[in-house]
Amino acid sequence: MSLLMTQLQQFVETRSVVDLYRERLSKEGLMGVIIGVSEYVILLRRIDEQYECDGVTAVRPGDVTRVRAHDRELLMVGEMLVYDEVCPPLDDVCLVELSAAMTVLGRRYGAVTLYVEALDPALALSGEPDEIDDNFLVLRQWGTARTLDKYKTLLRLNEITRVDSGTKYLQCLARAYSLTK
């Protein structure tokens, strides 16, 4: 087991709050509690800027450039968390590959946000996973809350670098779109 995997597994066991960085893809760190890890996927219960739980993120371990842990801010946030909110039980299938995490999270929370940061760091596609095969996904994509557009997007799975689900923003979008059905 690599040093990265060993450290990530320790963070899972100790429920440590960490900042996870993938600087080749995004300058933004991801704060949260790692709730699952495999050689293919890291599941992170996200913590937002107000130090509240905000959904689940799945990323590839190979994209990680550094992990910050055990500093004063992160230790304080860990003291404030309610761990029943932090560690919702998720199916181990989430750890098989990023597309499996996307499917499970989409079913659990109803929608996902997919990032293709290697192509465009600012591009985030939100919606409901519809069809999937070994190479592509059809996403019933939602526009912004202002436009409430709906359309289908065919996306190559290998381009997806991050999956978010259960976030406050996605929940608000889902409510808005349910009113337009």
| Rounded-to-integer distance, Cα 105 and Cα 67, Å | 24
Instruction: Pick the closest to residue 19 from 46, 40, 41, 54 (CA basis).
Output: 46
Model confidence band, residue 65 (pLDDT cutoffs 50, 70, 90): very high
Model confidence band, residue 32 (pLDDT cutoffs 50, 70, 90): very high
Fold classification of 3-179 (topology level): SH3 type barrels. (2.30.30)
Q: What is the maximum span of the chain, computed from C-alpha positions, in angstroms?
A: 49
Instruction: Pick the closest to residue 56 from 26, 85, 93, 77 (CA basis).
Output: 85
Model confidence band, residue 172 (pLDDT cutoffs 50, 70, 90): confident
The mean per-residue pLDDT over the stretch 36-52 comes to: 93
The mean per-residue pLDDT over the stretch 1-13 comes to: 93
Order of strands across the sheet that contains 53-59: 66-69, 17-21, 30-37, 42-47, 53-59, 162-165, 112-115, 124-132, 136-142, 150-156
Residue 124 φ then ψ, to 5°: -130, 125
| Rounded-to-integer distance, Cα 148 and Cα 77, Å | 35
DSSP letters for 50-94: TS-EEEEEEE-GGG--EEEESSHHHHHHHHH--HHHH-----GGG
Bridge partners (DSSP) of residue 53 are 47
CA dihedral 96, 140, 105, 91 (to 10 degrees): -50
Model confidence band, residue 176 (pLDDT cutoffs 50, 70, 90): confident
pLDDT for 22: 97
Q: What are the structural domain ranges in the chain?
A: 3-179
